[in-house]
Amino acid sequence: MSLPDLIVRPRRLRSNATIRRMVRETTLSVNDFIYPIFVDETIDAPRQVASMPGVSRIPLSMVGEVVKEVASLGIPGVILFGIPAVKDEIGSGGWDSEGIVQKAIRAAKAASPETCVIADSCFCEYTSHGHCGVLHGEDVDNDETLLNLQKEAVSYAEAGVDIVAPSGMMDGMIAAIRLGLDEAGFENVPIMSYAVKFASGYFGPFRDAADSTPTFGDRASYQMDPGNRREALKEAWLDVEEGADMLMVKPGLAYMDIIREVKDATNLPMAVYNVSGEYAMVKAAAEKGWIDEKRVVLETMLSFKRAGADLILSYHALDVARWLNEDKR
């Protein structure tokens, strides 16, 4: 028996590590990452998040130290989440000029002025009921919540934030925040919109980290149905039209197709949030010895980039930066 005449042999360009590196289509850099930080007003020492090995809530006094570590690794940005000492029905701590995130913004910028400080803009950490806005009965009132989002975004800008990142999936949130920032004289503060955020089971560990579990029901009336693709494009385009400067898809792993479609359909920088459940699954499997953590994490991050992400928000960011820096050496 004879073989066909193999003129095209793709393996030629896989024959050694140097050639593979030369023709690699997608690469990772520390510049691709944003590191999430949970700042807790009620503690004075780090508190491990049980469902997220390697992640802790930190006190305000440690923000500068953590941000300096992030900067030393070459990671360009952090995103802040606050756990306040006092919560109320409307989440008014979100726009308190002396609130935990406002203080953390100032501490981060003082410690590392060149680090890009992003503030997640929502109310689930600030409301006593754990939902993302003002309640009427058991329903989040969209338009009343928009007014509060304006106040929160302006308060963050006054504290010195570099980027505001609204995550509550309220209709019209980008237009409202843009108007609020512009009227307050912060027309140069960008908005990174959680434009496509699905009602996901992958968020579970985050709610431990941010103390934001709803006291009743779920968030399916404002976060997106996981089965919807066309609606994701609709949400993204609405935010583009309302003045978003960056878009985000959240979660990441189960929504690679959405990342690619939104990237191809729009012309804005694209972020993806590698969420807490995705992180926890990798950590749990690695602790069992079932996977090679470094290899799986780097492969996952590369897949986000290949799908179209320009920026990756990830709890793995510190480890990834160390691995990438070691590989350079």
Residue 286 and residue 72: Cα distance in Å, rounded? 26
Nearest residue to 161 via CA among 122, 104, 123: 104
Q: Please check whether residue 78 is in contact with residue 115, taking contact to mean a CB–CB distance below 8 angstroms.
A: yes
Out of 103, 197, 283, 305, the active site residue is 197
Out of 109, 250, 263, 283, the active site residue is 250
Active site residue 283: no
Q: Going by DSSP bridges, is the β-strand pair 270-274/246-250 parallel, antiparallel, or unpaired? A: parallel
Whether residue 76 is preceded by a cis peptide bond, meaning omega within 30 degrees of 0, is no
Active site residue 250: yes
The tokens of 269 are what? Answer: 């920088």
For the annotated catalytic residues, the residue numbers are 197, 250
